[in-house]
């Protein structure tokens, strides 16, 4: 086991995970509560021979990482809600052009500049639907430093595997909480490297022609092949097309490459679910409070269990349905007005057994908050 | 009845509705398939003494209309998907600061620059969730010129009533199709004018202190009162606050002022629903095809009905549930991968009876497309 | 209609009801928040030729009214929680000896001296089970002055009809709230007078030998008949017996005379129950807030209804079951930890659809409190 | 094993248990069928250096033990129904002020003076709800001398652990039946001693400020600290408060300290429950008859089982539900009109499978009585 033990913030655990995964280009613009990601990378990346660049705004940051990714780098940016809103147009470009990249959103309270220094989990649905048009997206989160590290490595692996942007949707508590991180040894977690084309220079390279296994090999832009990249619907050469079959085929491809791999992409943890009558579902920092509820009620003979989601999108519908099949109550614990709630309701067999335990005032939800809401849900009043 | 009969595109019908409603400031940046809105307003607004300004991009456009609205004007901008993505950050500001404004999105195929000259209805969920953080929003649409005019007037009335941005979510077919419009006489449709404060100059004006009826009187910015406007959570004076009670109260206010008035805001049409065994639900241009199906099948004794939604957000959940209560099948007809579909499934008592009839290739969905899909839904194969 | 319109507190409305019903003997010891009952009767009773006596404590008060009732008077005492606890032993005596009397408990927050000046509805189960041994009891309440008057008259009528103590269980808000009371004309509400024996003096009178209709005629104690009265199980002459058949028969009689007349004794009001999906059940002052919720949500298309209970014991089980048969949710609104809640759960077909909306902090529950709890119950979070 | 074997009444077994547990102050007023408790303690307590005092009535008895407990003693009183009714007001004070004390109620037939020399179990619900206001209470019982001894020791331990009154609810049969008792050696049953504060004299002592583990250390009243004790809602200094948060917090504390430890407090025995189709539930002397039924029917292949409850309050709802989960019939055997019956019905999944086998005439219920009722329940008539 690794002896590289660190005591640091979640934002720094994310940085360490990204470095471990091979990040070598970061562009960003500082914003609370994500700033430590950029700050730490401004130190760490040069040490490793990578590039750190502070851009003039979040739109430029997305442009920079998209370009750098195309030239062959593993790239990341980090922001919070307002910056994430500004990134939506370029995010759609990365989806359409199939650019591997990782976007960290350390959530604050929204909408607008909102509640910058306080916790929220209000950007879950924006992560899914923030850019225009049908599309699919991968979004991951975590509740502690060890998992922040792990999902960050995963994010880079998934970005390369599926040629897709991946969103890391942390929250202020996770980002700023200091706790232990055991940094794995190199090689302990497998890494997915860029799949580069085997087509030689001087031979036609089709940037959007899939291999037999469905993956699209890339060629470092500006290197030996000339090819076209566009945000328009396009054919296998990357040239624009509004041919209905091309449009239909590309849109289905963009969505299916992710939705058809939902179970592979799904990362979650479970606690005491085997015989749970009441299943709590949570993610990010609120999952810590939910876990405390479960572990403190079990000795009392109350059959609580916890499903902690680490992949939020594509929503692991089948897994959630199965885990909740025997529950009498399902309670989604989150710090928003019920965003994962809707996905859970759509997933389970009986939506009327799904309830929400939440806070929306910027104050961290505690086990006591959850238990008080559980009292009400179970008809026991205040 | 009015004798002012016009033959024009849907984009122009929108312009006429906006002028009728009292629009006197437009800022925008041209983009297909919405460009005719700006083009026509560059002619019409100066005629009426209003201001038209072409900005350098969509972010600037949102900034301009927010500022103009605060100074007392009825304002609008128009764009398509990529521009709408760029507007998400400023849209959140308008939600938080409670600025009345109207944003037209004439949808093209997405994501990214996508399929600019072809029809899609892929931005429905973005309209709801495009900006970060919990929030609520009003979004309306229409399927013909007369209704485009009417919902545009409605949009301005709702924006003023609830101090909220309102999104007009048209699509390329509706925007570019030419047909008749009977422009109502002045006064025929009631208008909601800006509610201005009765507080005199020199006396403290609280920009976010509601009247007894819940409405917030405004004061033309730059006029007799000085006050603060911010995208941060704020108190009744408009000054930032992260007090949990203030945050909770303001967020609930922003959402409740809209969600609690869902039935008042809901605008829809129904055709043959009384005894419908199969209820089609559609909106925008696809509702034209759906209506054709209903009207062509009724003479054959097939009990089809149509619920045409004109308000998409807040989703008229109770109305949809009631209209579908007795249906054996509910079929959502839309030109995307099933966005309103999700809302309908969440609304009805039995989600398993809800199906999707759609196209996603930029080609208009026809009654034949719908009927072929209906065959499959009813187990009759291709 | 009466033109005798008064503006007074609920405690005073109770006094007027008692006078109207024929009260002519009151003994009590003052305690907040019931004191105005005694205070006002110290003025009103002498005016009418009745007797008011302040006793040294609540035990003595019960002794005095039991004695006075036996001698032929209509009697009442009034107290709050601590005094009501002290009355429990003598209350059992009145039950066993079948003495008509009315005990007013204007509830404060308990247990113990608790929260004297604040509202609570915490004595509901004590009213049922406060004295030892199996027994039955009648308990009534009301939410406004007009109903306080009416149930007070009812209480005297029921006490005489069934030879039983009747508890009037008001609360601090109802007791102290000033509003209009229209005092009915004499004769407008029928009164039940003491049923006296037709047995002449010098002939054997059996104080516990029922007439054919089950009622037990009384003879004014100290008058023409000598007879025995005891708290022990007794035969028809009033003499002690531990004969199992006598014990069984008397206990069943004491319980059946009330339980078998549950529907006759049941007094309640209903609002919008015909098609209610969500039935609120409340009583006393909290029913005012519940009614406000119902009336404010109906215009929004939300199918709320209210069942306001005025008879709490014997619990109108069949009525509650029938009124709730078609409800999806039943929400008991009360200011305690869920006392009527238990009775409702036991009455309905599906106890899992019964929830509690409550406050326990001495602050009046408002429509907003109820609506917030309803949000949580319906899975919508805070 | 102890060789201290005695032959005595249940009332005396209770006395021996109390002495073993450390009782050193008893105040009471004699009443059938509890008198032997006082009688025996008037001999035993002085032998051990404790104090016995006969008070003028039951109210005074409660006052004396509350005061003595505060000064540091382990205290008890004993009575029957009528005396227990008189104690209700002071019992509420002990609940509110969190005074450890044990109250023995050896039940006779009620209501009122009732059936003094005959058995009944009619005070179960009074034990729960006899004092006014929301509250919680611990109530234990037993069916034989060995268990009477054991639950009496438990009662003192629980009183000290939770700072609460504990009621020992025996019945006339158990109190007066003579059988063997093996008195355990000192130390054989662990004792819970008074938790005293470590705060030194001259330093502020907060009588109602909990330690980290939730327990409230006491200081012998009249000793080194001066502090306030009241029956009003109070803050951590013991001073009255009607602050809603204080009221809410204290009431929840008073209830939660008991309800949240239901499983720890629950004491019960089970016989042949593993495969029981018909579960009998009983307690006190009636459990002896129920056990006889079970043991006499098993050899005939009838799958009867018995759950003997020793803790009646807080009602061990989860345990009862689980034990009855697989039963086809549940029959509550008790000598009243069905008091534990209600709690069992509320606890189990299917209340319709719960029946009552009872007597209410002062005669002990026999196995024959139960079997006759079982015939009827199973549709076999008399």
Residue A109 — φ and ψ, nearest 5°? -75, 130
Q: Are strands B178-183 and B4-9 parallel, antiparallel or unpaired?
A: antiparallel
Average pLDDT over residues C1-23: 94
* CA dihedral over C222, C227, C233, C235, signed as positive or negative: negative
- State whether residue D132 sits within 8 Å of chain C by CB: yes
Mapping DSSP to helix (H, G, I), strand (E, B) and coil, where does residue B208 land?
A: coil
Question: How many percent of chain A have pLDDT more than 90?
Answer: 93
Mean pLDDT of chain A: 96
Per-residue pLDDT at C307 exceeds 80 = yes
Ordered alpha helix ranges (H), chain B: 10-21, 35-47, 58-70, 81-86, 88-97, 124-129, 145-162, 172-176, 244-259, 262-265, 286-297, 317-324, 339-347, 367-377
Mapping DSSP to helix (H, G, I), strand (E, B) and coil, where does residue B377 land?
A: helix
Q: Which residue of D has its CA nearest to A299?
A: D263
Return the DSSP state at C203: S
**Chains C and A touch, contact meaning at least 3 pairs of CB atoms under 8 angstroms apart:** yes
Residue A202 is predicted with a pLDDT of 87
**Neighboring chains of C (3 or more beta-carbon pairs < 8 A):** A, B, D
End-to-end CA distance of chain C: 48
- Quick one: pLDDT band at residue B114, thresholds 50, 70, 90? very high
Residue D190 is predicted with a pLDDT of 97
Q: Tokens in use for B245?
A: 């009670």
Residue B378 is predicted with a pLDDT of 81
- State whether residue A380 sits within 8 Å of chain D by CB: no
- Quick one: pLDDT band at residue C212, thresholds 50, 70, 90? confident
- Quick one: pLDDT band at residue C3, thresholds 50, 70, 90? confident
Chain C residues in contact with A357 (beta carbon < 8 A): 381
**Residue corresponding to tokens 């930029």:** B362
Residue B269 is predicted with a pLDDT of 98
DSSP letters for D270-311: EES-TT-SEEEEE-TTHHHHHHHHHHHHGGGT--EEEEEESE
Average pLDDT over residues C230-241: 97
Average pLDDT over residues A352-376: 95
Q: How far is D218 from chain C (nearest CA, A)?
A: 20
Of C84, C109, C242, the CB nearest to D118: C242
Interchain CB distance below 8 Å, B248 and C301:
no
Q: Pick from B320, B332, B272, B274: which is nearest to B296 by CA?
A: B272
Average pLDDT over residues B133-143: 98
- State whether residue B242 sits within 8 Å of chain A by CB: yes
Interchain CB distance below 8 Å, A341 and C381:
yes
- Quick one: pLDDT band at residue B291, thresholds 50, 70, 90? very high
Residue D377 is predicted with a pLDDT of 85
pLDDT in tens, C18-50: 999 999 999 999 999 999 999 999 999 999 999
Pair D29, D78: CB distance under 8 Å: no
- Quick one: pLDDT band at residue A3, thresholds 50, 70, 90? confident
Residue D378 is predicted with a pLDDT of 81
Burial (CB count within 10 angstroms: exposed 0-12, middle 13-18, buried 19+), residue B382: exposed
Q: A228: which strand partners?
A: none
- State whether residue D318 sits within 8 Å of chain A by CB: yes
**Cα separation, B327 vs B273, whole angstroms:** 9
Of C352, C355, C381, the CB nearest to A338: C381
pLDDT in tens, D193-244: 999 999 998 889 999 998 888 889 999 999 999 999 999 999 999 999 999 9
Residue A301 is predicted with a pLDDT of 82
Contacts with C8 (C-beta within 8 Å, 6 or more apart), sequence order = C16, C145, C178, C181
End-to-end CA distance of chain B: 48
Cβ-count burial A271-297 (b if 16+ within 10 Å, e if not): bbbeebebbbbbbbbbbbbbbbbbeeb
- State whether residue C290 sits within 8 Å of chain A by CB: no
Q: How far is C128 from chain B (nearest CA, A)?
A: 41
Return the DSSP state at A210: -
Q: In what order do the strands lie in the sheet with A138-140?
A: A51-54, A25-28, A75-79, A101-107, A165-171, A138-140, A311-313
**Cα separation, D335 vs D141, whole angstroms:** 14
Mapping DSSP to helix (H, G, I), strand (E, B) and coil, where does residue A183 land?
A: strand
Return the DSSP state at D113: T
- State whether residue A373 sits within 8 Å of chain C by CB: yes
Per-residue pLDDT at B258 exceeds 70 = yes
* CA dihedral over B174, B175, B178, B182, signed as positive or negative: positive
- Quick one: pLDDT band at residue C115, thresholds 50, 70, 90? very high
- State whether residue B251 sits within 8 Å of chain A by CB: yes
Q: Considering the entire predicted model, what is its pTM?
A: 0.86
Contacts with A186 (C-beta within 8 Å, 6 or more apart), sequence order = A20
The kind and range of the H/E element at B51 are strand B51-54
- Quick one: pLDDT band at residue A1, thresholds 50, 70, 90? low
Of C337, C358, C379, the CB nearest to A355: C379
**Neighboring chains of A (3 or more beta-carbon pairs < 8 A):** B, C, D
Q: Tokens in use for C36?
A: 């105005």
**Residue corresponding to tokens 């849209």:** B91
DSSP letters for B263-314: HHH--EEEES-TT-SEEEEE-TTHHHHHHHHHHHHGGGT--EEEEEESEEES
Interchain CB distance below 8 Å, A300 and D248:
no
Contacts with C249 (C-beta within 8 Å, 6 or more apart), sequence order = none
Average pLDDT over residues B166-183: 98
Mean pLDDT of chain B: 96
**Chains A and B touch, contact meaning at least 3 pairs of CB atoms under 8 angstroms apart:** yes
Residue C138 is predicted with a pLDDT of 98
- State whether residue D182 sits within 8 Å of chain C by CB: no
pLDDT digit string (tens) for chain D, length 382 residues: 678 999 999 999 999 999 999 999 999 999 999 999 999 999 999 999 999 999 999 999 999 999 999 999 999 999 999 999 999 999 999 999 999 999 999 999 999 999 999 999 999 999 999 999 999 999 999 999 999 999 999 999 999 999 999 999 999 999 999 999 999 999 999 999 999 999 998 889 999 998 888 889 999 999 999 999 999 999 999 999 999 999 999 999 999 999 999 999 999 999 999 999 999 999 999 999 999 999 999 999 999 999 999 999 999 999 999 999 999 999 999 999 999 999 999 999 999 999 999 999 999 999 999 999 998 888 777 7
Residue C301 C-beta-side C-alpha neighbours within 13 Å: 13
Mean pLDDT of chain C: 96
Q: Are strands A178-183 and A278-282 parallel, antiparallel or unpaired?
A: unpaired
Q: Are strands C311-313 and C138-140 parallel, antiparallel or unpaired?
A: antiparallel
C interface test, pick of B265, B318, B325, B349 with most C CB neighbours within 10 Å: B318
Q: Which residue of B has its CA nearest to A91?
A: B112
Interchain CB distance below 8 Å, A360 and C373:
no
- State whether residue B229 sits within 8 Å of chain A by CB: no
Pair B329, B377: CB distance under 8 Å: yes
Q: Tokens in use for D161?
A: 């652990």
> Which ipTM score applies to this complex?
0.96
**Cα separation, C16 vs C38, whole angstroms:** 12
**Neighboring chains of B (3 or more beta-carbon pairs < 8 A):** A, C
The kind and range of the H/E element at C107 are strand C101-109
- Quick one: pLDDT band at residue C1, thresholds 50, 70, 90? low
**Cα separation, A358 vs B251, whole angstroms:** 13
Interchain CB distance below 8 Å, A338 and C380:
yes
* CA dihedral over D28, D31, D32, D36, signed as positive or negative: positive
**Cα separation, C35 vs C176, whole angstroms:** 10
* CA dihedral over D365, D369, D371, D376, signed as positive or negative: negative
Residue D1 is predicted with a pLDDT of 60
Contacts with D108 (C-beta within 8 Å, 6 or more apart), sequence order = D32, D33, D80, D81, D114, D115, D116, D117, D118, D119, D120, D172
**Chain C, 58-87: which have a CB under 8 Å from a chain B CB?**
none
Contacts with C250 (C-beta within 8 Å, 6 or more apart), sequence order = C208, C233, C234
Interchain CB distance below 8 Å, B111 and A117:
no
**Chains B and D touch, contact meaning at least 3 pairs of CB atoms under 8 angstroms apart:** no
Average pLDDT over residues B226-238: 96
Residue D376 is predicted with a pLDDT of 87
**Cα separation, A68 vs A71, whole angstroms:** 5
């Amino acid at each position: 086991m690794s002896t590289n033990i660190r005591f640091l913030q979640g934002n720094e655990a994310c940085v360490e995970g990204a470095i471990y995964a091979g990040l070598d280009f970061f562009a960003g613009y500082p914003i609370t509560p994500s700033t430590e990601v950029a700050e730490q990378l401004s130190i760490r990346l040069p040490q490793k021979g990578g590039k750190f660049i502070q851009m003039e705004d979040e739109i430029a940051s997305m442009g920079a990482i998209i370009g750098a990714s195309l030239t062959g780098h593993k790239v990341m940016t980090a922001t919070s809600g307002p910056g994430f809103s500004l990134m939506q147009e370029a995010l759609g470009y990365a989806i359409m052009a199939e650019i591997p990249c990782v976007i960290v959103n350390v959530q604050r309270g929204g909408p607008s500049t909102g509640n910058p220094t306080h916790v929220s989990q209000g950007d879950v649905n924006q992560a899914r639907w923030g850019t225009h048009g049908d599309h699919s997206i991968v979004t991951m989160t975590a509740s502690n430093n060890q998992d922040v590290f792990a999902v960050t490595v995963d994010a880079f692996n998934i970005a390369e595997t599926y040629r897709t942007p991946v969103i890391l949707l942390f929250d202020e508590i996770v980002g700023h909480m200091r706790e232990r991180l055991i940094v794995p040894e190199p090689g302990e977690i497998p890494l997915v490297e860029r799949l580069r084309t085997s087509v030689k220079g001087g031979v036609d390279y089709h940037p959007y022609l899939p291999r037999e296994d469905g993956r699209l090999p890339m060629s470092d832009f500006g290197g030996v092949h000339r090819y076209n990249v566009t945000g328009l619907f396009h054919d296998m050469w990357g040239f624009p097309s509004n041919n209905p079959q091309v449009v239909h085929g590309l849109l289905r491809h963009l969505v299916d490459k992710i939705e058809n791999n939902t179970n592979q992409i799904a990362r979650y943890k479970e606690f005491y679910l085997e015989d749970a009558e009441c299943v709590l579902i949570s993610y990010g920092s609120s999952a810590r409070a939910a876990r405390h509820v479960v572990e403190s009620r079990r000795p009392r003979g109350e059959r609580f269990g916890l499903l902690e989601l680490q992949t939020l999108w594509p929503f692991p519908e089948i897994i959630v349905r199965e885990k909740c099949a025997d529950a009498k109550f399902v309670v989604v614990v989150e710090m928003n007005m019920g965003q994962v709630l809707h996905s859970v309701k759509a997933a389970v067999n009986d939506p009327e057994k799904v309830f929400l335990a939440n806070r929306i005032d910027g104050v961290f939800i505690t086990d006591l908050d959850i238990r008080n809401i559980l009292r009400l849900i179970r008809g026991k009043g205040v």
